[in-house]
Amino acid sequence: MLWGSGVSIVEVTVAPLSIPLREPFVIASGRMDATRAALVRATLQDHRGRRATGLGESAALPPVTREDQPELLQLIATAAADLRGAELGQAEDLDRLLAKHLPGSAVARAGVETAILDAAARLQGLPLWRALGGSDAPALSTDITLSISDPERMAAAATRHAHAGFTCFKVKVGRDWRADCASLRAVAAAVPGARFRLDANAGFAAAEALALLDAALADGLTVECYEQPCAADDLAGMAEVTARASVPVIADESFRGPADLDRLLTARAAGAVNLKLAKLGGPLAALALGRRARAEGFGLMAGAMVETRVGLLAMAHVVAALGGVDWVDLDTAFLLAEDPFTGGWQVDGPRVRLTGAAGLGVDALPQRRG
């Protein structure tokens, strides 16, 4: 039970969340220079009149997400007016409410649902992972992303991250497998003991994807997994890579909801799936689909769009509620030039520990003026 009876929504508000990146985030399908998100605040009140406000992040990453920031702000502002005063009895009530007022945008829904769940857990005085049924919050260890660039720059970025303790790199590939191979070699030479998670963001044909993997393994590189080698709807290509690769293939762009899980299973097009709140519509769906995917034999990655610590913490609480996942990719807050939030986690290089505070435990810092 997420909350007791008599809890209602007092108010939902939304504001742009545009935090500059230290360096451009470059993947096979696009580029970002700042987050393109909406920050949602939801205030709930219980039957005794106590109130709590929660935070949620709706993170756009076009073209991975169809939506961009302006649509998200508009969609959420419109829904906010309809959500005011709504009663929340059970988790199913929230599901029904959000399905009615935010249909068709998983990204918008993810932020609103997160803010409501954060507020509900704060009212209960429980960390969100515990309110979601988790029994433990293990320390997580995340990789760190290397954007597509030239080999020298990628090696320099990897070296900087290695000084901060990161040795597991999520390397963005998928534009040109020979160039990607040169970049991987440069990073491996710069950081002895580096481990690699490849993410092609749907950029390759199966043969190119396998050529890169074969070359990387022939060079003696440690490759942990291979994310979305082929286009989202190229399940035949995904299946070919899955069948021939010696590392798990993870569906990200090919996995956006329950129906995709069935398609991936039937086509044998992945061995694992990447859970992201912005694709799946929020913590409740991510938790349910994560459990179902695991029961079907899939490995699990926990990922995010380009998100601040609000969105990353929400996913980290889902990971804790799931009892852990196979690969944690919750690093984008460390790539931002500013962090306008406080609390929720303790970070030591790649290691992230949730604090045990109620809800997500994160608060916005007072805005600087002048």
Nearer Cβ to Mg ion (118/252): 252
Closest distance between Mg ion and the C-beta of residue 111, in Å? Answer: 20
Stretch that binds Mg ion, among 171-179, 221-229, 315-323, 330-338 (CB under 5 A): 221-229
Which residue in 211, 142, 141 sits closest to 173, CA to CA?
A: 211
In the chain, which residue ranges form alpha helices assigned H by DSSP?
69-83, 91-101, 106-124, 128-131, 151-163, 177-190, 206-218, 235-244, 258-267, 277-280, 283-295, 309-321
Closest distance between Mg ion and the C-beta of residue 282, in Å? Answer: 19
Stretch that binds Mg ion, among 100-108, 219-227, 305-313, 353-361 (CB under 5 A): 219-227
Closest distance between Mg ion and the C-beta of residue 232, in Å? Answer: 11
Closest distance between Mg ion and the C-beta of residue 53, in Å? Answer: 32
Closest distance between Mg ion and the C-beta of residue 359, in Å? Answer: 27
User: Environment class of residue 9 by beta-carbon count within 10 Å: exposed (0-12), middle (13-18) or buried (19+)?
Assistant: buried
Nearer Cβ to Mg ion (131/289): 289
Burial code of 147-156, b = ≥16 C-beta within 10 A, e = fewer?
bbbebeebbe
Question: Encoding tokens for residue 258?
Answer: 């329950």
Nearer Cβ to Mg ion (128/328): 328
Nearer Cβ to Mg ion (124/147): 147
Q: Does 143 bind Mg ion (CB under 5 A)?
A: no
Question: Nearest-CB residue to Mg ion?
Answer: 252
- Which single residue is written with the structure tokens 């380009």? 306
Stretch that binds Mg ion, among 123-131, 135-143, 185-193, 222-230 (CB under 5 A): 222-230
Closest distance between Mg ion and the C-beta of residue 95, in Å? Answer: 26
List 46, 57, 118, 199, residue binding Mg ion (CB under 5 A): 199
Nearer Cβ to Mg ion (118/143): 143
Residues 327, 319: Cα–Cα separation, whole Å: 10
Stretch that binds Mg ion, among 2-10, 155-163, 220-228, 349-357 (CB under 5 A): 220-228
For residue 36, the SS3 value is strand
Question: Who contacts 296 (Cβ-Cβ below 8 Å, separation ≥6)?
Answer: 261, 265
Q: φ, ψ for residue 340 (rounded to 5)?
A: -85, 15
Closest distance between Mg ion and the C-beta of residue 41, in Å? Answer: 28
Site string for Mg ion, 224-253 (x = CB under 5 A): ---x------------------------x-
Nearer Cβ to Mg ion (130/279): 279
- Which single residue is written with the structure tokens 């039937």? 266
Nearer Cβ to Mg ion (188/225): 225
Nearer Cβ to Mg ion (57/227): 227
DSSP-derived secondary structure letter, 337: S
Residues 359, 123: Cα–Cα separation, whole Å: 8
Question: Who contacts 96 (Cβ-Cβ below 8 Å, separation ≥6)?
Answer: none
Q: How many residues bind Mg ion (CB under 5 A)?
A: 3
Q: Which chain residues interact with Mg ion by CB under 5 A?
A: 199, 227, 252
